[in-house]
Amino acid sequence: EAGVVQSPRYKIIEKKQPVAFWCNPISGHNTLYWYLQNLGQGPELLIRYENEEAVDDSQLPKDRFSAERLKGVDSTLKIQPAELGDSAVYLCASSLLAGGLTDTQYFGPGTRLTVL
Amino acid sequence: AQSVTQLGSHVSVSEGALVLLRCNYSSSVPPYLFWYVQYPNQGLQLLLKYTSAATLVKGINGFEAEFKKSETSFHLTKPSAHMSDAAEYFCAVSVVAGNQFYFGTGTSLTVIP
Contact B103, B91 (CB under 8 A): yes
Residue B58's DSSP bridge partners are B64
B44 touches chain A (CB under 8 A): yes
Three-class SS state of A14: coil
pLDDT value at position B1?
A: 55
What is the rounded CA–CA span in Å between residue A51 and residue A29? Answer: 8
Which residues of chain A are at the B interface, by a Cβ-Cβ cutoff of 8 Å? 3-4, 40-45, 56, 91, 93, 99, 101-102, 104-110
Which of B4, B7, B38, B44 is the best residue to mutate to test the A interface, defined by the most A CB atoms within 10 Å of its own CB? B44
Three-class SS state of A99: coil
pLDDT band for position B31 (cuts 50, 70, 90): confident
Three-class SS state of A82: coil
Q: For B16-29, what is the mean pLDDT?
A: 91
Question: What's the one-letter identity of residue B79?
Answer: P
pLDDT band for position A1 (cuts 50, 70, 90): low
A56-103 tens-digit pLDDT: 898 999 999 999 998 889 999 999 999 999 999 999 999 998 766 788
Q: How close is the nearest chain A Cα to the Cα of B66, in Å? A: 18
A18-71 tens-digit pLDDT: 999 999 999 999 999 999 999 889 999 999 999 999 988 989 999 999 999 988
Q: How close is the nearest chain A Cα to the Cα of B15, in Å? A: 24
B39-85 tens-digit pLDDT: 988 889 999 999 877 889 999 999 999 999 899 999 999 999 999 99
B91-113 tens-digit pLDDT: 999 877 667 788 999 999 999 99
pLDDT value at position A35?
A: 96
